[in-house]
Amino acid sequence: MTARQPTVSVLLEPGWERGSLVEDVRRGLGSQPRTLPPKWLYDEVGSQLFDQITTLPDYYPTEAERAILRTHASDIAARTDATTLIELGSGTSDKTRLLIEALRAEGRLHRFVAVDVSEATLRQAAARLASTYPGLEVQALVGDFTLHLGHLPEGGRRMVAFLGGTIGNFYREERAAFLGALADHLAGGDWFLLGTDLVKSADRLIAAYDDPDGVTERFVGNALAVLNRDLGADFDLGAFSYVPLWDSRMQRMDLRLRAETPQRVRLPGAGLEIDLAMGEEIRVEISTKFLPDQIDDELVAAGFSVAGRWTDTDGDYAVTLARRE
């Protein structure tokens, strides 16, 4: 069977990235407490560092999720009647191939839609998938899934996959808004597959985010290098220490950079100048960990019903299947 050519739709306006970065920096660094959205960690250098993190012995989420899909993708596929699989934040769609193959084995999958902000990555991944699965309609949407849910293609029975534990990078109110918006753009009977990291001991969590070789520290610190490069900022990269904290009240890892000396930082590309006190911290990323009941409650509040859940053998990670009411 001849492979079908993938279609690529670009939803982002030219120059969106710089404009979005400036807006995020003004809002996050220009207020207290100071924050930076984690999406700016993933430039080329940051993406390479994160790939290294996923192979570290104490960093379990990536392989735990892969193991769940490897073991249970056929069960997940059998419980749904999906004819379209949509992946939010798809990247290379590496793990998602396990779902594609399971859904194709059920004989119902006709279309795969990948959504991500990186056009180059999407085009490469879409071409590979179209070549690997002849007859499968492959579409790529170059967009921000927090902004472009209204552009998800309609028709057939859809299953939206949101994997990688990315939902944990949202604050509680952001999760509620995102899940509610997703539910609003799905039809009754559509499916949602969600990957979430689970609550566990503080020691294990801190070990997962504070490796002895400092890869995670370089990854988080790269956020300031991005601002120096793209906004002409003058952060002294050596004047910050990496602080990974477990917040037991909010049940999340909190990854911060702490200023070790007082400093005035100029960010001319954002029209911003800030004074950092010694010991002041910039929150770069959170990673919320969930209890199963909490996952259920947040999904139900958004308009979903829970249809199934699978965990890895150690019970570290969960993949939950829900249906739009």
pLDDT tens for residues 63-119?
999 999 999 999 999 999 999 999 999 988 889 999 999 999 999 999 999 999 888
Tens digit of each residue's pLDDT (9 = 90 or more) over 164-198? 999 999 999 999 999 999 999 999 999 999 999 99
Q: Report the 10 Å Cβ neighbour count for 273.
A: 13
Q: For strand 111-116 and strand 281-288, is the pairing parallel, antiparallel, or unpaired?
A: unpaired
Average pLDDT for 297-325: 98
Tens digit of each residue's pLDDT (9 = 90 or more) over 21-60? 999 999 999 999 999 999 899 888 998 999 999 999 999 9
Q: How confident is the model at residue 8 (pLDDT cuts 50, 70, 90)?
A: very high
Q: How confident is the model at residue 3 (pLDDT cuts 50, 70, 90)?
A: low
pTM: 0.95
Q: For strand 34-35 and strand 84-88, is the pairing parallel, antiparallel, or unpaired?
A: unpaired
Query: Domains along the chain?
Result: 34-57+205-288 (no CATH), 60-198+291-324 (3.40.50.150)
Which SS3 state, helix, strand or coil, does residue 169 take?
Answer: helix
- CB neighbours of 19 closer than 8 A, spacing ≥ 6? none
Q: Report the 10 Å Cβ neighbour count for 104.
A: 17
Do 308 and 68 touch, CB atoms closer than 8 A?
no
Measure the CA–CA gap between 142 and 54, rounded to whole angstroms: 25
Between the CA atoms of 297, 300, 301 and 302, what dihedral angle is there, to the nearest 10 degrees?
A: 130
Measure the CA–CA gap between 185 and 159, rounded to whole angstroms: 12
Instruction: Provide the 8-state DSSP code for 261.
Output: S
Q: Identify the burial level of 213 via C-beta atoms within 10 angstroms of its C-beta, where 0-12 means exposed, 13-18 middle and 19 or more buried.
A: exposed
